[in-house]
Amino acid sequence: MPYTLNDLAGDIKDIVQTNKMPDDSEKICHFVSKALMDPSFVLQNLPDRKEGSSPREILYEDAQTGFCICGHVYSTKAIGFPHDHGSSWAVYGQASGETEMTDWKIIKDQPDEGVIYVKPNKTYIMKPGDVHFYSVGDVHSPVRKAPVRLLRIEGVNLDNIQRSNIKAEV
Ligand SMILES: [Fe+2]
């Protein structure tokens, strides 16, 4: 039986309704990985984008709890700067291609200036099926040197979340 978007949404909803993040993030990661490893799920939910359209698509937004399942499809390289997700957690899952992800360590948080200073902590490659949880405030930067397809689960729709002002010290 193929694993569908509805299945994934229901499984995540069961978790976020009854558990607190980040303690049960592993459970969400399990189901995201299950979706990524299902070729029909990837084919159906992460198709090529039309010329000029956004790489990001909200596939599902939960009206009760606010979490979102998003598909990101990049047809060319995509270099991300260090960022957090404001007050939201997120799960990144690689469907195809590779992401070189760097986690950053906060070295100075200057609330007066409104700036968070970071330095690189570790870099790792995310391959198809790999899933990673980023808790509230975790700073990371993705580098995609070739086309990729991803799933991203957001605790709340990140379109409506203010990100921190982050400066890298390398
Ligand atoms: Fe991110």
Reading the chain (170 residues) residue by residue, the pLDDT tens digits are 899 999 999 999 999 998 778 888 999 999 999 999 999 999 999 999 998 899 999 999 999 999 999 999 999 999 999 999 999 999 999 999 999 999 999 998 877 788 999 999 999 999 999 999 999 999 999 999 999 999 999 999 999 888 889 999 87
- CA 141 to ligand 1 center in whole angstroms: 7
Q: Measure the CA–CA gap between 102 and 64, rounded to whole angstroms.
A: 33
The predicted pLDDT at position 113 comes to 80
Q: Measure the CA–CA gap between 156 and 163, rounded to whole angstroms.
A: 13
Tokens of 75: 């047809």
The predicted pLDDT at position 21 comes to 81
- CA 83 to ligand 1 center in whole angstroms: 6
Indicate the pairing of strand 148-154 with strand 68-74. Answer: antiparallel
List the one residue out of 112, 164, 137 whose CA is nearest residue 21: 137
- CA 42 to ligand 1 center in whole angstroms: 20
| pTM (two decimals) | 0.93
CA-CA-CA-CA torsion sign (89, 100, 58, 31)? negative
- CA 38 to ligand 1 center in whole angstroms: 24
CATH number at residue 121: 2.60.120.10
- CA 57 to ligand 1 center in whole angstroms: 15
Q: Which domain holds residue 83?
A: 5-168
Q: Measure the CA–CA gap between 35 and 3, rounded to whole angstroms.
A: 6
**Structural domain tally of the chain?**
1
